[in-house]
Structure 1
Amino acid sequence: MIDARLQPLQRTLLRPAAMIMARLGIHADALTLFGFLVGLIAFAALAAGQWMAALMLILANRILDGLDGAVARINGPTDRGAFLDIALDIVFYALVPLGFAVHDPSANALPAAILIVSFVGTGSSFLAFSIIATKQGRQADAFPAKGIFYIGGLAEGFETIVVFVAFCLVPAYFAEIAYGFAALCAVTTVVRWYQGWVVFAERRDQE
């Protein structure tokens, strides 16, 4: 919902560290892979009920996710980098609720499953819209530096991280938070379906 507004601030904050890493020869893809490894460790911490450790690891994963893009903008973005970034991010997002489900299946399995399905909705609608929009030569003005067309929504990256932080700070309320955010993701998915239906139908009508 506010990712586009946060992009300039994020780039400003991360650029100094990204410039140092670029000078040291650290590749953006290496940061992406290392960030995913940190995400896997965060999953293990969640499954073990180590909430504060998991929180720190989740935040580290997100910082690395921002750094890989910052380094890529300095060295030049690549198709492989964009692919890795999106593919591994989607898996990481699913691992967080799965960690809570593994820790306490009786209380958390159902809300975690519903939340993961809602992530499938937002992720698939995002990718489907992006594929067609890119095919048509469209560009998202709010995200000009991204590797593919980015469509916004109520539930975006910033909101997801806020929810993950809340999970770790108040794990007893995981179910309530998960159901609430799943509903927000469902709204985002339906809106994207509608946008795709309208936008791509308009293109066909114009042709």
Structure 2
Amino acid sequence: MLDRYAIPVIRWPLKRAAIQLNQWEIKPDTVTISGFFIGLLAVPALAFQAYGLALMFIVINRVFDGLDGALAREQRLSDAGGFLDITLDFIFYASIPFGFALADPANNAIAASFLLFCFMGTGASFLAFATMASKHQIDNPVYANKSMYYIGGITEGTETIASFVLMCLFPTYMAWIAGIFGAACLITAASRVWAGYQTLRALDTPSS
């Protein structure tokens, strides 16, 4: 929901950084993979309840995630790069609830499991529709520079990272934050399934 407002704000600094990285001949996939492994360091940090350190790794991961796309646009967008980016993003997103479950299993495990369940709904509906949108050559003008179709919802990347930040800042309220955000994810998944089904059904129905 907030991505369309956040992306224009961060686009200029990311572009400037990407221009410099391009001059150094750094490849987008290198940035993607580096950011992914840095982000995974949040898991052991969370497990040891080093929440400030985990937050730093999460933020760095998200900066790298923005940089790889900006750098790809300076060089060349590729399906391979887009595939790598979205796959590692989803693995990273799932790793953070897991880290909180390790930090305090008694209080966080059920909330983390619920959030992962909700992530499955948003992720499956997102990727399934992106596949069909590509087949039917459906364009999304809001995210025209993305490698695949981005179907919206009330929980997108901005909201996801905001929830992770809140969990790190207020770890004792992790279960509440995960519960509220997870419920919003379920609404997003339901709306995507409904909108995607109706869109594709209309395309499958022969016009009279």
Both structures adopt the same fold (TM-score exceeding 0.5): yes
Equivalent in the alignment of 1:37: 37
Give the superposition deviation at 1:6.
2.1
In structure 1, what is the Cα distance between the partners aligned to 2:90 and 2:139? 22
Q: TM-score, normalised by structure 1?
A: 0.98
Aligned length: 207
Equivalent in the alignment of 1:174: 174
In structure 1, what is the Cα distance between the partners aligned to 2:13 and 2:25? 20
Write the letter of the residue equivalent to 2:68.
D
Equivalent in the alignment of 1:9: 9
Per-residue CA shift, 1:118-151, capped at 9, x if unaligned? 0111010000111101100111010000001111
Equivalent in the alignment of 1:195: 195
Equivalent in the alignment of 2:26: 26
Equivalent in the alignment of 1:87: 87
In structure 1, what is the Cα distance between the partners aligned to 2:50 and 2:206? 55
Per-residue CA shift, 1:49-99, capped at 9, x if unaligned? 000011111000000000000100000111111011000000000100100
Give the superposition deviation at 1:197.
1.6
Does structure 1 residue 184 correspond to structure 2 residue 184?
Answer: yes
Give the superposition deviation at 1:104.
1.0
Extract unaligned runs of 5+ from structure 1.
none
1:137-176 alignment runs, 5 A limit:
137-176=137-176
Equivalent in the alignment of 1:107: 107
Write the letter of the residue equivalent to 2:6.
L
In structure 2, what is the Cα distance between the partners aligned to 1:185 and 1:54? 23
Give the superposition deviation at 1:204.
1.3
Give the superposition deviation at 1:4.
1.6
Write the letter of the residue equivalent to 1:18.
A
Give the superposition deviation at 1:2.
1.5
In structure 2, what is the Cα distance between the partners aligned to 1:186 and 1:104? 24
In structure 1, what is the Cα distance between the partners aligned to 2:97 and 2:86? 18
In structure 1, what is the Cα distance between the partners aligned to 2:5 and 2:40? 29
Instruction: Give percent identity, aligned residues only.
Output: 43
Which consecutive segments of 4 or more residues in structure 1 shift more than 4 A? none
Give the superposition deviation at 1:8.
2.0
In structure 1, what is the Cα distance between the partners aligned to 2:195 and 2:119? 18
In structure 2, what is the Cα distance between the partners aligned to 1:73 and 1:204? 33
In structure 2, what is the Cα distance between the partners aligned to 1:154 and 1:58? 21
